Structures are given as structure tokens and as C-alpha cells.
Amino acid sequence: MDKLERILALDIGTKRIGTAISDPFGIFATELELVLRKNDTQAITDIKKLAEKYMVKKIVVGVPYDTEGNIGPQAQNCIDFAKKLEDNFEIIYIDESMTSYEAEQILRTQKKKYTKNKGLVDLKAAALILTDYLNNGR
């Protein structure tokens, strides 16, 4: 990673996409905002706007592989969505099988009420995906 290049991470769901952004030096991941996925065209536009705002060239996408490491329906959904961004960005796919569970555990310890606001889980999961990439994936 070049200095001062931010990385965007996506936790892609069928209704919402959690996003997180790295600091310019690629050390920390920060929850960014939720992108609603009412339709893919608008969601792609919203992600491109975020990427432009933060001068992103690389996007890390969490893929929920199954317990055997295979691509199930939700993983395929993530990959199909992310392919729509490949013309504009370098896309990195990483396993995010347990990030939603980890995000819920963290939010529980922080005493945040996430059960009525699943967006909190999506944002935290995106930050965990990016943290994993920054610490291990490069």
C-alpha cells in the first residue's frame, strides 16, 4: 500500500452494506456509514461516491465462506455485487465468516443495543474485515 492511500471495506448484505475506511497510513479501521441496498445500481453509486470522497483505489470485500471454505449463496451474492466495482477499483476478497458474530459480541460488551439496529452490526463487521486485512491480509 502506498502511503496516504485509504482502503475501503464492505460488509455486503442483502439489505445493507456496512462500510469502513482505513486511515491514510493503513493502520486503523474506522466505521464509516451504512449504504442501503434497495437496488444495486444506487448502492454501487453510493459506494463510488464514498470511494471518491476518500480517494480510495482498493476495496476489501468480506465473503462469508461456509464451514468447509466453499462459496454458498450469500458468499456468491457478495462476489456478484463486488464484481460491479472491479472496473474502477482493485477488489480484495477475504473470508469474513465470523465477523457478524464477533461484531455482536463487541457491541454486547459495549452495552449497545444492536438487536433493533442491525446496521450497527454491519458497520462493526466492516471495521473488523478491514482490521483483519490491515493486520494480516497484506
* Residue 126, in any domain of the structure: yes
CA nearest neighbour of 40 among 68, 60, 10, 63: 10
* Residue 110, in any domain of the structure: yes
Task: Using a pLDDT cut of 70, give the percent of the chain over it.
Answer: 95
Using the Cα atoms of residue 36, residue 41, residue 46 and residue 48 in order, give the sign of their dihedral: positive
Q: What is the pLDDT of residues 91-117, one digit of tens each?
A: 999 988 777 777 778 777 877 777 667
* Residue 125, in any domain of the structure: yes
- What is the predicted pLDDT for the residue at 92? 96
- Note down the domain range covering 111: 7-137
CA dihedral 81, 83, 85, 89 (to 10 degrees): 140
pTM: 0.87
* Residue 93, in any domain of the structure: yes
CATH code of the domain in which 61 resides:
3.30.420.140
* Residue 84, in any domain of the structure: yes
Overall number of domains in the chain: 1
* Residue 2, in any domain of the structure: no
Three-state DSSP state, 63? strand
* Residue 46, in any domain of the structure: yes
More confident residue, 101 or 126: 126
Residue 2: pLDDT over 70: no
Residue 88: pLDDT over 90: yes
* Residue 1, in any domain of the structure: no
CA nearest neighbour of 37 among 51, 55, 19, 54: 19
